[in-house]
């Protein structure tokens, strides 16, 4: 039961790691030379008898975790609908570690060289990427834009739940976008899951693209969270008709079935948009990742936002204005292994200070029914309020998961952390005792 609780939401990642160990590098149909480096990108071509020589060319820059059954299934459906798909694993081709920092440091030459080779095919072309891979993808478009006199051969980019931030700041501080967002003026389609972590930041991201001069389009994918198209255990290469039988979530099955159409419908829309030839400048101060802040961090004391949420017992939970102790506002989700792993130590901390520490484990965009079943594996004394639309998390500017805020008796946040930690250590205990000395206002 414990294993299921920790890793049940990440079966696709565990399976991928096993698959990578067994198979090694994927076979390539051809390779593309990366300009300026001498590296080679391995390209795997997916096409079918329905693929047309004048049909669209989809450049799928696979996620940092490598090729997974979900994108593989979508690529085959794209081929059945007339497209040709070039799947490229940049991290594998360049022998880079599959880490967040590595992805954020990939420059524009790899994807840019791929685009330069693709537009020679003289067919409608779009580049597709998800999550953090959107960063080297946008850099690649700009790199290619600098080296061509006609940007119209590339329709644009389709970004699936893009993560375009330099990294997680100190919890509660506003995250910073990479400058490539403000330097992108070619057309972009954003496919944003309704239950995704960055849903509440979507309008701000769109505004940055618009200010840069990009014709940006948005589709909110209803009922699903990030990585929805990667939650398949086995590739469905012959048909997507069985998705309801092989996926746990019917909303995700529907969204995966719709994804090929979402991509194909984006191509003429992007192709008809404005394609500037001039390249926008980059802000050199925002081109590199920031170091992740781990452990409890002191912050400038600020008033903690109030909230009123219903917990799994049907009780209303709110931040207490007159609590003579420390209140911990924790944002978590069952799909986040680090969130789940810290629950036992949070309970040990709560039991150490039964009258002086109150914990609110606020579940981010999850159903009470799912949470009640999930929490059967844990014996906790603190309430689990539900933040169904993420509104309270947005109010606290929670960026990463888990994120926690320590509120003293004066009603102000004094410490925060945007990662999972062990809560019953001497270091945390010293901070709790420090905050217990603060008098109410």
| Token couple for 6 | 């920790």
pLDDT for the residue numbered 293: 73
CA 72 and chain centroid, separation: 19
| Beta partners for residue 41, in sequence order | 32
Cα angle 17-256-249, degrees, rounded to a multiple of 5? 80
| Token couple for 393 | 């998390």
For 230-239, what is the mean pLDDT? 93
pLDDT, tens only, 19-45: 443 333 446 799 999 998 989 999 999
Q: Is 107 exposed, middle or buried (0-12, 13-18, 19+ CB in 10 A)?
A: middle
- Residue 426 is inside which H or E element, if any? helix 426-436
Residue 441 has pLDDT above 80, yes or no: no
CA distance 374 to 137: 37
Residue 320 has pLDDT above 80, yes or no: yes
pLDDT for the residue numbered 291: 81
Average pLDDT, the chain: 92
Provide the pLDDT confidence category of residue 260 given band limits of 50, 70 and 90: very high
pLDDT, tens only, 175-199: 999 999 999 999 999 999 999 999 9
Provide the pLDDT confidence category of residue 391 given band limits of 50, 70 and 90: very high
Query: In Å, what is the CA distance from 231 to each residue of 90, 160, 253, 321?
Result: 21, 14, 9, 42
pLDDT for the residue numbered 9: 44
Max alpha carbon distance in the chain (Å)? 74
**Beta-strand (E) ranges in 372-422?**
386-387, 403-407, 412-417
Residue given tokens 């390249």 in the structure block? 279
Residue 217 has pLDDT above 50, yes or no: yes
| Token couple for 146 | 């600098």
For 212-225, what is the mean pLDDT? 97
pLDDT for the residue numbered 27: 62
For 346-361, what is the mean pLDDT? 95
pLDDT for the residue numbered 406: 97
CA distance 254 to 404: 34
Query: How many other CB atoms are found less than 10 A from the CB of residue 387?
Result: 21
pLDDT, tens only, 92-143: 999 999 999 999 999 999 999 999 999 999 999 999 999 999 999 999 999 9
Prediction pTM value: 0.88
Provide the pLDDT confidence category of residue 16 given band limits of 50, 70 and 90: very low
CA distance 408 to 429: 14
**Beta-strand (E) ranges in 211-364?**
216-221, 297-303, 308-310, 316-318, 326-332, 357-364
CA distance 195 to 202: 12
CA distance 41 to 30: 9
Ranges 62-76, 119-133, 285-299: which has the least confidence: 285-299
**Are 256 and 243 contacting, i.e. CB atoms less than 8 angstroms apart?**
yes
Residue given tokens 């990667």 in the structure block? 230
Ranges 71-80, 149-158, 285-294: which has the least confidence: 285-294
Residue 334 has pLDDT above 90, yes or no: yes
29 φ/ψ sector (left φ>0, alpha ψ -120 to 50, else beta) = alpha
- Classify 308 as helix, strand or coil: strand
273 DSSP 8-state letter: S
**Are 90 and 276 contacting, i.e. CB atoms less than 8 angstroms apart?**
no
Query: In Å, what is the CA distance from 17 to each residue of 23, 24, 64, 105, 268?
Result: 10, 10, 12, 22, 36
pLDDT for the residue numbered 3: 32
CA distance 184 to 210: 9
């Amino acid at each position: 039961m414990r294993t299921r609780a920790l890793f049940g939401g990440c079966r696709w990642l565990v399976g991928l790691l096993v698959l990578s160990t067994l198979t090694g590098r994927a076979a390539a149909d051809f390779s593309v030379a990366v300009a300026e480096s001498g590296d080679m990108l391995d390209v795997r071509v997916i096409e079918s008898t329905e693929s047309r020589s004048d049909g669209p060319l989809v450049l799928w820059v696979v996620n940092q975790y490598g090729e997974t059954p979900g994108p593989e299934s979508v690529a085959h459906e794209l081929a059945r609908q007339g497209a040709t798909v070039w799947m490229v694993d940049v991290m594998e081709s360049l022998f880079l570690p599959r880490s967040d920092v590595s992805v954020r440091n990939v420059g524009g030459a790899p994807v840019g060289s791929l685009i330069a080779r693709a537009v020679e095919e003289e067919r409608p072309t779009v580049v597709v990427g998800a999550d953090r891979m959107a960063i080297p993808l946008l850099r690649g478009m700009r790199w290619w834009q600098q080296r061509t006199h006609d940007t119209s051969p590339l329709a644009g980019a389709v970004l699936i739940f893009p993560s375009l931030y330099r990294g997680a700041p100190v919890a509660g501080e506003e995250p910073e976008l990479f400058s490539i967002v403000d330097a992108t003026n070619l057309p972009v389609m954003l496919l944003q899951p309704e239950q995704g972590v960055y849903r509440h930041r979507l309008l701000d991201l769109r505004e940055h693209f618009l200010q840069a001069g990009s014709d940006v389009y948005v589709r909110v994918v209803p009922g699903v969270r990030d990585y929805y198209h990667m939650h398949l255990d086995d590739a469905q290469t012959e048909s997507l008709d069985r998705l309801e039988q092989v996926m746990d979530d019917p909303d995700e099955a529907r969204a995966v079935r719709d994804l090929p159409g979402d991509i194909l419908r984006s191509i003429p829309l992007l192709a008809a948009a404005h394609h500037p030839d001039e390249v926008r400048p980059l802000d050199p101060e925002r081109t590199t990742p920031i170091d992740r802040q781990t452990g409890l961090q002191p912050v400038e004391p600020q008033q903690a936002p109030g909230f009123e949420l219903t917990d799994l017992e049907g009780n209303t939970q709110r931040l207490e204005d007159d609590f003579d102790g420390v209140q911990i506002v924790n944002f978590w989700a069952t799909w986040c292994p680090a969130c789940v792993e810290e629950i036992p130590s949070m309970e040990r901390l709560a039991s150490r200070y039964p009258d002086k520490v109150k914990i609110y484990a606020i579940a981010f965009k999850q159903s009470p029914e799912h949470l009640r079943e999930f929490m059967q594996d844990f014996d906790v004394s603190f309430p689990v309020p539900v933040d169904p639309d993420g509104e309270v998390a947005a109010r606290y500017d929670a960026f990463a998961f888990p994120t926690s805020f320590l509120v003293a008796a004066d009603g102000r946040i004094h410490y925060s952390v945007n990662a999972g930690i062990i809560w019953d250590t001497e270091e945390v205990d010293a901070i709790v005792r420090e905050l217990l000395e603060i008098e109410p206002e």
